[in-house]
Structure formats: structure tokens, C-alpha cells
Amino acid sequence: MIRLEGVQKHYGTGQAQVRALDGVDLEIEDGEFVAIVGPSGSGKSTMLQLMGALDAPTGGTVAIEGVDTSGMSATALTRLRQTTLGFVFQQFNLVPTLTAVRNVEAPMVPLGVPRAERKEKAGDLLETLGLGDRPGHLPLQLSGGEQQRVAIARALANDPKVILADEPTGNLDTATGGEVMRLLAGLNSEGRTIVLITHDTEVADAAERVVHLRDGRIERATQPDASASTA
């Protein structure tokens, strides 16, 4: 589904240059649940930005479904992000002036989905995620866990094959974070590819495979017993 080959990402020049990623090779299979773990500054979020076609590598290739993203036009990249990839962020990134249902509808608008169909699908997603009684609430009227569930519903709006989650439990308490991780694990069991960025090794244990990143390089990969952490 996603392949990184010799990926480098550098910022700045000369002695001030920062090597956020320094020759990363990684393959993520269709339907896999992978966690990328590492301390602050290890390159985790940079890697997610590249996987999500939100940025371009300095060197190497990032391919999604076998297509090198560096050869895609801006229009094609936008379409890729709209249809194949879903994003979940630590800060939720909900539009504060839109209700929960309107936030979930938002990704469908550029694709020309009719208003009635958007509203029905958004309502169904909120219902599935336990927010069937919250469609008319604004983000500030929801708890952190509820906002993150709205964000997950929004990420699912266009039926993406891949969910890219950047520290999705970072602003949540332990119990609520556990609920979010169970939601992601459930989506994975339905066949979606999940890539999770986290600094928390306990959160990462929910994944099938954990890739450990340090100083822009992959140190090792492990396979935890996910059943114990999602029970």
C-alpha cells in the first residue's frame, strides 16, 4: 500500500541542515496496522507528512499503491488525499464554527456528493462511533474524546483505504485514549490500513507491527501482542 525507498528529508543548508529522515526504507502492506514510535525529533511526523503526500522528500521515493507521488500533479495529489487517505491529528483540527455533522460532511463537498447524501452518511458515521445524539453540537460543546471521534468520522467520510493518525491520543486521558485505540483497531479489522504515529510505547502495542525510529533512521521493528493492549 505504501512504500518508502531511501527516503530523505532535509531542512536548511550547510551546518544548519537538519536531517529529519536519513535513508528510510519501509513497506506497509494493505490492511496492516503499523505504529511508528520514537522520541520527539526522531522524524515520526515528517514521515507521516510524506506518507500523506502533504510534503515531498528531499531524496528517495514515496509510493502509494505502486505510484511514485513525486511524479503526480498537484491535482492528482489532492485527489489522492481526498479519496485514498484519511487523516486524524492530535489537535482534532475540527472547524469550530461547524457542527459535528457538518465537520464530517466537509471532506465530501469537494467530491460533489449531494447535500442529502452527505448528511445521511455523516449521520451514520457519527452513529457508528457512538455520537448519534451529538450531530448538532459544536466542537467546544464536546469532550476531547468526542471531538476525536468526530475527527475519525471525518477521516472516514470518503471511505479511504488508509488512515494516517498522528498522536491521536496525545490530548486524551488514558481511558479515552484507549477507546480511540479500540476504534482504530476495529477499523483495521474491517480491512483498513492504519499508520499510527506515537511516542507512547503502550499505545503502539495495539498495532501489529511497531517501527522504532530514532534520529531519522529506523532502528528496528517489533511485533507486540496487540490483543493484550486492546482488550
Q: Is 168 helix (H, G, I), strand (E, B) or coil?
A: coil
Of 215, 226, 180, nearest in space to 47 by CA:
215
Q: Please state which of the ranges 55-59, 158-162, 200-204, 224-228 shows the lowest mean pLDDT.
A: 224-228
60-98 residue pLDDT tens: 999 999 999 998 999 999 999 999 999 998 889 999 999
Phi-psi region of 34 (alpha: psi -120 to 50; beta: other; left: phi over 0): beta
In this predicted structure, the answer to whether residue 19 has a pLDDT above a threshold of 80 is yes
Q: Residues 3, 63: contact at Cβ < 8 Å?
A: yes
In this predicted structure, the answer to whether residue 104 has a pLDDT above a threshold of 70 is yes
- pLDDT at residue 170, rounded to an integer: 87
- Please state the separation of Cα 161 from the chain's center in Å: 11
Of 33, 26, 6, nearest in space to 190 by CA:
33
- pLDDT at residue 227, rounded to an integer: 46
149 membership: H or E segment, kind and range: helix 144-155
Categorize the per-residue pLDDT at 25 as very low, low, confident or very high, splitting at 50, 70 and 90: very high
C-alpha cell of residue 188: 483495521
Give, to the nearest 10 degrees, the angle between helix 144-155 and helix 174-189.
Answer: 20
**Measured between alpha carbons, how far is 92 from 147 in angstroms, rounded to an integer?**
7
Q: Tell me the percentage of the chain whose pLDDT exceeds 90.
A: 75
- pLDDT at residue 231, rounded to an integer: 41
Average pLDDT of 145-169?
94
C-alpha cell of residue 123: 449521520
In this predicted structure, the answer to whether residue 180 has a pLDDT above a threshold of 50 is yes
Domains of the chain: 31-52+74-230 (3.40.50.300)
Buried b (16+ CB within 10 A) or exposed e, 137-146: bbbeebeebb
In this predicted structure, the answer to whether residue 228 has a pLDDT above a threshold of 90 is no
Of 147, 129, 127, 145, nearest in space to 137 by CA:
147
The model carries a pTM of: 0.89
